[in-house]
Amino acid sequence: MTLYCTVDNVKQFAGTITFQDMGFETEDQYSEYVDFIIEGASRYLDLYCNKTENFFQNAGVSITEYFNGRGGSPPGYWMLTGERIARWQKGARTFKLEKQPILSITTFQELIGSTWTTRTEGDASDFRHVNGVIYMLRNIPREGWENVKITYKGGFLLSPKAIQLATAMLVANYVQLKTRDRSVSVIQFRRPAALEFADPGVMTPEIKGILMQYKTMQF
């Protein structure tokens, strides 16, 4: 599992909180606890931003999406106008990938019979990729259910500094909240539930503002 910030990053934001405040006997125990919470916060940010797990790690992550082929001509195309046929064909030729930004396309495959047939990328080949959209140049996939499989690398070459900042702030806020609310002698080691990170005192408007540019909107 990829962690999006370090223990030292969190401690910078946690202020004057000490291991004694947390009910631990040593600084190492406190650091181990913070490291554990960072893992949970990192996965929560993946979820919050509607991304694949570990999406913000260095060099991105491999993602596979399935699409329905639409074929070269719409049903009843003989009854449609040229403009409507053109719109259909444009839709049949394009595939928009969900998890952006895209670093590279690994494979584009169409299921023909029982065999996945690989298409090639390039202006003189089967398709080209522009800003997260695949444009078919030839060999338009046949009509079918999830008969198109696209595997690609999504994410960033280097993990964004803003993600590191948001993760550190999120964990620091969580630790501060637990310190204020602590009613037991030692805090238990367990990954916080998503609802705990979603607490308004933890996921603040400032953190949401930092993450806005990285969040994939779902409709």
Asked if residue 74 has pLDDT above 80, the reply is no
Gap between the Cα atoms of 41 and 143, Å rounded: 42
Question: What is residue 177's predicted lDDT score, i.e. its pLDDT?
Answer: 85
Q: Which helix (H) or strand (E) holds 179?
A: helix 161-181
Question: What is residue 19's predicted lDDT score, i.e. its pLDDT?
Answer: 85
CB distance 65 to 24 below 8 Å: no
CA-nearest of 45, 12, 30 to 197 is 45
| pLDDT digits 0-9 by tens, 13-70 | 988 888 888 888 899 998 999 999 999 999 999 999 999 999 999 999 999 999 999 8
CA angle 53–55–57, rounded 5-degree value? 115
Helices (H) and strands (E) in the chain — how many of each? 6, 7
Asked if residue 195 has pLDDT above 50, the reply is yes
Instruction: Describe the chain by its helix, strand, coil percentages, rounded to 5.
Output: 35, 25, 40
DSSP code string of 2-58: --SS-HHHHHHHHTT--TTTTT-SSHHHHHHHHHHHHHHHHHHHHHHTT--TTTTSB
Q: Tell me the sheet residues that pair with 151.
A: 64, 107
> Percentage of the chain surpassing pLDDT 90?
64
78 alpha carbon, distance to own chain's centre: 42
Is the pTM for the entire model greater than 0.85?
no
Average pLDDT over every residue of 2-12: 95
AA letter at 21: D
Asked if residue 183 has pLDDT above 90, the reply is no
35 alpha carbon, distance to own chain's centre: 21
135-139, long-range: CB within 8 Å, 24+ apart, which pairs? Answer: 135/93, 135/94, 136/92, 136/93, 136/94, 136/95, 139/110
| pLDDT digits 0-9 by tens, 79-124 | 444 454 445 455 568 999 999 999 999 999 999 999 999 999 998 8
